[in-house]
Amino acid sequence: LGTVLANAHGMKRFLTALLLIAPALASAQPVLEFRNDLAFSSSEIDALAAREYAARLGALARSGQLDRDPAMESRLNRILLRLRRAAAYERPSSERIVWEMHVCSGCDESASAMAGGRLLVSGDFVHAQAFSDDELAYLLAHEMAHVLAEHTREFSTIARFFLGNGLARGYDDIQEELAEDLPVNLRMGPDSVQQELEADYIGFVLGARAGFAPDAMLSLLDKLKTGDRSLFGTHPTDAERAQHARAMLEMGRRLAGR
């Protein structure tokens, strides 16, 4: 028994040592892994997102709310360029993504991403929060993370098990029902929470990899605090997000070389 315990203890010491070394190695190779077992094809996900994005942009353009802030656009595009390089490093297949960015004013969005790299950011929101470039980078990176991890496709893949006859249904059909069926969305709350925390993690790696100050993730989350109003368990709490971010901070500093 004594030997077994000693070995177990030795193994534990070895694992601890490995965990301490791993962050140092992390900067030299991709640290993210992505799943490749999702249902549906990325092209059908892309087609629906393209239609919805075009419809939203069209509505904003008609009401004079689209791309009225060239300074904000170029600021965001400079940040996006750096994050794209980090994304291509972490997920080489993402070089195929045609990232598209628009800025709206007087709109409901804060920042959002649709499948296939379609981003929409409210200039008013950025001005009102007085985000630094570093904070803005982590905000954008979170949205890009949803795209990179194909969260829309993943959510629909999981939704098949929550919807009647789900396994036999097509992607557009599932999306249509998800848009209207609140109870299903509530039952899938834990999956949404998981995706949000994953987007925080992936986005944090991208931001740090691109050299943005990792501490800005914490100040960003502080500015984004919702007070957990009306989230119905579909989003992580402010405290959960901050706790996860603090746990990632050391890795981020190593990735960012700070």
- Write out the residues near Zn ion by the rule CB under 5 A: 196, 199
Shortest reach from residue 163's CB to Zn ion, in Å: 22
Integer Rg of the chain from CA: 20
Which residue's CB is nearer to Zn ion, number 38 or number 199? Answer: 199
Which residue's CB is nearer to Zn ion, number 166 or number 199? Answer: 199
Which residue's CB is nearer to Zn ion, number 136 or number 199? Answer: 199
Which residue's CB is nearer to Zn ion, number 26 or number 111? Answer: 111
CB 134 within 8 A of CB 213: yes
Shortest reach from residue 196's CB to Zn ion, in Å: 5
- How many C-beta atoms lie closer than 10 Å to residue 188's C-beta? 22
Shortest reach from residue 203's CB to Zn ion, in Å: 8
- CA neighbor of 202 nearest in space, from 166, 151, 132: 151
By beta carbon distance, the residue nearest Zn ion is 199
Which residue's CB is nearer to Zn ion, number 140 or number 166? Answer: 140
Shortest reach from residue 143's CB to Zn ion, in Å: 7
Listed in order, strand segments (DSSP E) in the chain are: 100-104, 111-114, 118-122
Shortest reach from residue 122's CB to Zn ion, in Å: 15
Shortest reach from residue 53's CB to Zn ion, in Å: 17
At residue 224, the 3 state secondary structure works out as coil
CB 137 within 8 A of CB 83: yes
Which residue's CB is nearer to Zn ion, number 90 or number 196? Answer: 196
Residue 121 Cα distances to 94, 204, 229, 256, angstroms: 21, 18, 22, 25
Shortest reach from residue 142's CB to Zn ion, in Å: 6
Which residue's CB is nearer to Zn ion, number 46 or number 196? Answer: 196
189-196: long-range contacts at Cβ-Cβ below 8 A with a sequence spacing of 24 or more?
Answer: 189/232, 189/233, 189/234, 190/233, 191/155, 191/158, 192/155, 192/234, 192/235, 193/233, 193/234, 193/235, 193/236, 193/240, 195/146, 195/149, 195/151, 195/154, 195/155, 196/235, 196/236, 196/241
